[in-house]
Amino acid sequence: MDFFAVLGGASAKIYDDIIDNNIPMNGTILESLKGIQWISLTAISLNNFNLTFILYLFCILNCFANPDAFVIPYEHALLILYPFFFIWNFPTASFFSFKDIFFLMMVVGTAIVEPILHKYVPYTEGSAEKFLLRFCSAIMTFALLMIGKEIDISSSIITFIIYSLTYTIVSAGFQGYAFKNGIINDTN
């Protein structure tokens, strides 16, 4: 499942960066990225109610917290279709342990920190500041993954961390590339 978590995190962020930054792209590539995302989400979600719950909760929170998120039909479709996994996966539901909840909150916390920091450290898309912020976030998420594996947190949380880590690494790479090559310069 780690393979699909990596593939899903990478495809989601590549698609997001293409769309969010209006990068001209072949329609087949965009549809392929959507397909990879759906396949990856299906692969990691099947027979894993807890991961389905985490991913959906994260999407719902992001939808409400970020008014620019989930504005295109593809993103809305995720919010509508993904709950069907709840029904399918319900027999696999289990209680989260305290350490699972703690690690989940730490990963979510790294995602929440950026908007707060943006108020104090303004940055633009493709800036050194945004690259460093995403790079630091990737390092923190990687550290959480290593610690989580060491203390044996649930596989659902590990898969979520891998998905999040890959998403963040791709984001940091894009920001670094954009900064180095000056391809994006807006006030995002």
Residue type, 150: E
pLDDT, tens only, 6-26: 999 999 999 999 988 888 999
Whether the CA torsion 162, 165, 170, 173 is positive or negative: it is: negative
Provide the b/e sequence for 19-51 (b: ≥16 CB within 10 Å).
Answer: beeeeeeeeeeeeebbebbbebbeebbeebbbb
Q: What pLDDT is attached to residue 188? A: 43
The per-residue pLDDT for 22 is: 87
Residue 25 domain-assigned (yes or no): yes
Whole-number Å distance between alpha carbons of 145 and 142: 5
46 occurs within a structural domain = yes
Q: 13, 10, 2: which is closest to 145 by C-alpha?
A: 2
The candidate with the shortest Cα–Cα distance to 57, out of 81, 34, 79, 90, is 79
For residue 37, being part of any structural domain is answered with yes
Q: Is residue 188 part of a domain?
A: no
Q: How many folded domains does the chain comprise?
A: 1
* Domain range enclosing 23: 2-181
Q: Is residue 120 part of a domain?
A: yes
186 falls within a domain: no
How confident is the model at residue 185, as a pLDDT? 53
Q: Is residue 187 part of a domain?
A: no
Q: Quote the percentage of the chain above a pLDDT of 70.
A: 97
Per residue in 102-130, pLDDT (tens digit) is 998 888 887 777 777 777 777 888 888 88
Asked if residue 9 is part of any domain, the answer here is yes
| Rounded distance between C-alpha atoms, residue 26 and residue 171, angstroms | 20
- pTM equals 0.90
Alpha carbon distance 174, 14 (integer Å)? 8
Mean pLDDT for the chain overall: 88
Express each pLDDT in 71-102 by its tens digit.
888 888 888 888 888 888 899 999 999 999 99
